Amino acid sequence: MSRIAVLPPDVQAQIAAGEVIERPASVVKELVENALDAGARSIDVRLSGGGLERIAVRDDGEGMTAADALLAFARHATSKLARAEELAGVTTLGFRGEALPSIAAVARVRVTTRRAGEPGANVVEADAGGARAAGVAGAPPGTSVEVEGLFGATPARRKFLRTPATELAHVVDALTRLAAASPAVGFGLEHDGRQVLALPPVRDERQRLGQLLGRERAGSLVAVEVDRGGLGLRAFLAPPRETVGSARLVWTYVGLGGAYRWTRDRLLLRAVLDGYESLLMHGRYPVAVLFLRFPPGEADVNVHPAKLEVRFRQPAVVHQLVVPALRARLAVALRPEPAAAPEGVRPASYDDGPRDGAGLALEDGAASPAPLALWSAAPGGFASLRFIGQIFEGYLVCEGDGRVVLIDQHAAHERVAFERLREEHARGAVARDPLLVPETIELPAAHAAALAERGEVLAAAGLEGEPFGEGTFLLRTVPRLLRGRDAGTVVRAVARELAEEGASAAAERAADAALATLACHSVVRVGERLDPAEVRALLAAMDRVDVAAHCPHGRPVAVTLERGQVEALFKR
Ligand SMILES: Nc1ncnc2c1ncn2[C@@H]1O[C@H](COP(=O)(O)OP(=O)(O)O)[C@@H](O)[C@H]1O
Ligand SMILES: [Mg+2]
């Protein structure tokens, strides 16, 4: 008897579905991509129980006829591609005809769809057993897809899913990435009846990034626009002082002339980091959003089951386009006098090919700043140093052990405060004071969502409160460390940091991010004067914590100059 058997169709379908549909966020991604491909101007996503119970996506796109709605559930049935050659220049987000059958293989699906001009909507129901017409209904033009009981019949997959809060976080991530590339489309996300994201349509990507990243941060983004004969780059870069602890705010999109597709491509990430180069501290990542447009055939989007990766025909050319463009733009942006910065760099032709690294030569002033001399903690301890004075109202000059030590007073205080908070936090004892009148704090929707999802992290850091309507947080306690500081600013900063960490980040990481932000706001600012007693207290406190030369936000705390280095300056 043969030991090999072809799997029954339902098992085949489940295996194929597993490639595309991994969790609720994959369902949302596929359905929203379909809505975008259908020309929707407004897309509304509603979830229950992190999407595990129910996901509903409604759009006002072109809709489907009754026959198409049924055929859409057949594997490899698509309206977006007819011949193999078209794959090279596919301009829609979908093209494989796999999403709807994959979803139906692992959940119960109900599609209600109406084309403009038709009197009513057609309803189709589908599950692992197949798809069937389920009559007509009243509905506005467009399509709505409801998905229930995801992975109900595949307990193995369901076991790998996390809590509803984590699944919701993945959905927010997925929707955010899609929304960034489609500013003219309005998006809404509701979870268990609560509004999580509300993104009305806007004019351009910068405005959309304002909705997603907060207006303040979006305002500081510098734009890059390069066109090399068919290969185009449009990027928004945060200045290098704005960094985060992971690469999750480096968003790279690839398009072949139509819709831009978010991709997690290592080559592109590498190019972005190379573009920022020495402007970033080790382990810190920038905030950067890149849209790359390729001529047909230059990028293959058909290499990954969920189409999250791409392959480039000439990777070196991509690198050589991105790196110098970013460097030149950042160098201009960093010039002390904010000269009217040119919106882009000198264009060159795509056909210059990979040999031509100089095709986009660095503009003047693009040289990276000289590296810091040396920075490390003083070996004899900070308390043993002789304090000489404060300069530039923010730096302490000390001497001892045959070296000069410059200390950034803000960074040092921040590190000390951070370690103290962390220690209190570990004991579950962050000192806090109740607010007599709770403070109402307005936030961008995504940040408010991050706060809501991370309520326990926030409370443990001494910021107790709760969401209060859309984009608002009601704060009831403040950490004692923040006495006298503006709590609203701090909560907004923590919310931003949490949103950036991603609610999918481990709780410990999120707590660290919150504590680092609190520490940063609790301490002396550059510009504040310190008297010698305060300096001595600070130096002593620095010895008690592992300063490791870094403040929690990644900047150095102390810079030392050896005697030999000073002498070398004078050619001795
Ligand atoms: N929201 C929608 N509005 C209009 N048509 C849709 C929608 N969702 C799916 N379709 C149709 O169903 C087909 C199959 O969808 P899908 O399985 O996602 O495959 P693909 O997007 O790769 O074509 C699409 O090609 C499209 O014609
Ligand atoms: Mg699709």
Domain spans in the chain, listed from the N-terminal domain onward: 9-195, 206-360, 382-559
Q: Tell the residue nearest (CA) to atom 12 of ligand 1.
A: 72
pLDDT of res. 371:
32
Does 314 contact ligand 1 (Cβ within 6 A)? no
Does 75 contact ligand 1 (Cβ within 6 A)? no
Does 114 contact ligand 1 (Cβ within 6 A)? no
pLDDT of res. 403:
83
Between CA 317 and CA 324, with CA 320 as vertex, the angle to 5 degrees is 155
- Which DSSP string corresponds to 289-315? EEEEE--TTSEE--SSTTS---EES-H
The pLDDT averaged over each successive group of 10 residues in the chain (572 residues) is 84 78 94 97 96 97 96 92 83 90 95 95 96 94 97 78 84 94 96 91 93 82 89 92 82 92 90 85 85 91 82 89 91 55 37 31 31 43 86 86 84 80 83 83 82 82 81 85 79 82 66 80 69 83 67 69 83 80
pLDDT of res. 243:
80
CATH fold label, 382-559 = Ribosomal Protein S8; Chain: A, domain 1 (3.30.1370)
- The span from the CA of 565 to the CA of 572, in Å, is 10
The H or E element spanning position 253 is strand 250-255
How close is the Cα of 97 to the center of ligand 2, in Å? Answer: 6
Q: Which ligand is nearest to the CA of 79?
A: 1
> How many helices (DSSP H) and strands (DSSP E) are in the chain?
17, 24
Does 122 contact ligand 1 (Cβ within 6 A)? no
Residues 366-416 have pLDDT tens digits of 333 333 333 344 456 788 888 998 888 788 898 887 888 888 888 888 878
The ligand 1 atom nearest the CA atom of 30: 18
Give, for ligand 1, the residue of 20, 27, 29, 37 to mutate: max count of ligand atoms closer than 8 Å to Cβ.
37
The ligand 1 atom nearest the CA atom of 92: 21
Paired with 133 in beta bridges are 124
Strands (E), 317-420: 386-391, 395-400, 403-408
pLDDT of res. 466:
83
The ligand 1 atom nearest the CA atom of 81: 23
- In the three-class reduction of DSSP (H, G, I as helix; E, B as strand; rest coil), residue 109 is classed as strand
- Phi and psi, residue 373, nearest 5°: -55, -60
Does 115 contact ligand 1 (Cβ within 6 A)? no
Does 79 contact ligand 1 (Cβ within 6 A)? yes
Domain 9-195 annotated CATH 3.30.565.10 = yes
How close is the Cα of 296 to the center of ligand 1, in Å? Answer: 22
CATH fold label, 206-360 = Ribosomal Protein S5; domain 2 (3.30.230)
The ligand 1 atom nearest the CA atom of 102: 17
